[in-house]
Amino acid sequence: MSLPLEGLSAIVTGAGRGLGRTEALELARLGAAVVVNDYGQPGRDGSGGASTGPAEEVAAEIRAAGGRALVHTGDVSDHRQARELVESAIGAFGKLDILVNNAGILRDRMVFSMSEDEWDSVIRVHLKGHFNTIRFASAHWRERSKTAGAPVYGRIVNTSSEAFLAGSAGQPNYAAAKGGIVGLTTSSAQALARYGVTANVICPRARTRMTEDVFAGLARPEQGPDPLAPEHVAPLVGYLASPAAGHVNGQLLVVHGGMVAIVERPRVQAQFDTKQDAFTYDELDGLLTPYYADRPQGETFAATEVLGLRKRNDTA
């Protein structure tokens, strides 16, 4: 019996550790040839020298299990290096079929203390890094589709966070980047569907070096599997990358141990219409002030609470 991803090739960014590692291993287990991309810096804030070690270790695991793997240690936030990443997959495997964007860093700070570099660096790696790889992968799929005169096979799986849904007080840069990734995904989904390409985005909950602060108070169980292990996220990525998910496009899914939640687009909670040609300040005051006064004090959009995720502590 053939494997779901047999004959397909994939790129996984940030694949040297954590979520990216488990995703790369899962895609390989399902039959894909995988380009393992990781810049290899030891610090979760992007500090330290680049290293081939993490990516090489994951590639070695894939090969030891009988799979095919190529190592790429370029920085996806760099436009040229992202192009080289896509070209390396095409050169090694003849084509690219699957792109999983996972690379990211953290530079946490309250908004009133954040430096320009702390803002720019996180936006660059997360949001620009996602754009860069999608830019060159989508051009490849579009050209193949035009040559074939028909849709081709293409899958994009991006990584956002519930921080974008309800905010994260000490992570304005991270929350903004993750929100941007959702917009990038839904836009890409609409633009690329005609070529046979789907684009979806996940909000994973997993215990990694990126989330050690978030889950600091949630210890690993003494017995049984850890519901926050990254391995619980990888199967959804494998599914979204597969032929079975051909009709899943432009979707946002929250995933962690034993749960997948499909998040619908925002709905209108209340609507007010002016009784005149245009609103005045006084009319808005008469409508909106009582409406918000009747709501519980401090109530905000808190999707993470609805989905049962403990609020993240503020970071100085």
pTM of the predicted model as reported, rounded to 2 decimal places? 0.87
Please indicate whether residue 140 or residue 268 has the higher confidence score (pLDDT). 140
Choice among 9, 138, 145, 161 that is catalytic: 161
Decide: 130 and 119 in contact? Cβ < 8 Å.
Answer: no
Residue 37 Cα distances to 55, 207, 268, angstroms: 6, 20, 41
- pLDDT tens across 208-247, in order? 555 555 554 555 666 666 666 778 899 999 999 999 999 9
Has residue 44 got a pLDDT over 60? no
Active-site residue identified among 153, 174, 195, 239: 174
Q: What is the pLDDT of residue 231?
A: 82
Q: For residues 181 and 130, is the Cβ–Cβ distance under 8 A?
A: yes
The stretch 35-45 carries a mean pLDDT of 74
Q: Is residue 242 among the annotated active site residues?
A: no
The pLDDT tens digits for 97-150 are 999 999 999 898 999 999 999 999 999 999 999 999 999 999 999 999 999 999
From 39, 153, 168, 178, active-site residue: 178
Tokens 């995904």 correspond to: 185
At 274, the pLDDT band (50, 70, 90 cuts) reads very high
- What is the pLDDT, as a whole number, of residue 305? 41
* pLDDT, position 163: 84
Assess whether 95 carries a catalytic annotation. Answer: no
Tokens 């997993």 sit on residue:
206
Residues 271 and 287: their CA atoms lie apart, in Å, by: 10
The pLDDT of residue 180 is above 90:
yes
Sequence-distant (6+) residues with CB within 8 A of 5 are 27, 30, 31, 32, 98, 238, 241, 242
Report which of residues 59 and 209 the model is more confident about: 59
